[in-house]
Amino acid sequence: MKDCIFCKIVNKEIPSKIIYEDEHALAFLDIEPVNVGHTLVVPKKHFETIDKMDKEEYDKLSEAILKISKGIMCLADGLNVMQNNKEIAGQAVPHVHFHLIPRYNDDGYRFDWKKDEDVTEKENNEFLEKIKSFLK
Ligand code: AMP
Ligand code: ZN
């Protein structure tokens, strides 16, 4: 897609530190790594968010994520896999990407997902009922 920075990386129009490439996926180092080896894995085809992907493309991307995860786990003590959709969820680049963040013992990071108010059981039960109708 024109004007998409990750499409430009996929098309080698702008440079990146590529760590893995196959027919469907590209993986490169994040330009602002939160830890050594912070990697982004993207589908070569442009999808804005994960729900726009078709199964075949997602399966191919998953294969690359699994392969790279196995490699990272040979070099690191742990691994966070994260993927953001839409601005509210922290997505800055609207081209699907998975963050693979190697973790090292005593690296000093904490992932704190606490929000101001706890989720109530009622809210969770309502979600449970609604989501089922979309997953049949
Ligand atoms: P997100 O907030 O999930 O959309 O993550 C976007 C990520 O893309 C951030 O971690 C950025 O540091 C990274 N990023 C943006 N531009 C580039 C680039 N040209 N090369 C590598 N990583 C990039
Ligand atoms: Zn794109």
Task: In whole angstroms, give the CA distance from residue 3 to residue 114.
Answer: 35
Q: Which residues line ligand 1 (CB under 6 A)?
A: 5, 16, 28, 30-32, 40, 84, 90-93
The predicted pLDDT at position 71 comes to 96
Q: Give the ligand at the shortest distance from the Cα of 40.
A: 1
pTM of the shown model: 0.94
Which residue's CA lies nearest to atom 16 of ligand 1? Answer: 31
pLDDT tens, per residue, the chain with 136 residues: 889 999 999 999 999 999 999 999 999 999 999 999 999 999 999 999 999 999 999 999 999 999 999 999 999 999 999 999 999 999 999 999 999 999 999 998 876 777 778 889 999 999 999 999 999 8
Known active-site residue 99? no
- Tell which CATH architecture fits domain 5-134: 2-Layer Sandwich (3.30)
All structural domains of the chain with their residue ranges: 5-134
- Tokens linked to 80: 């966070």
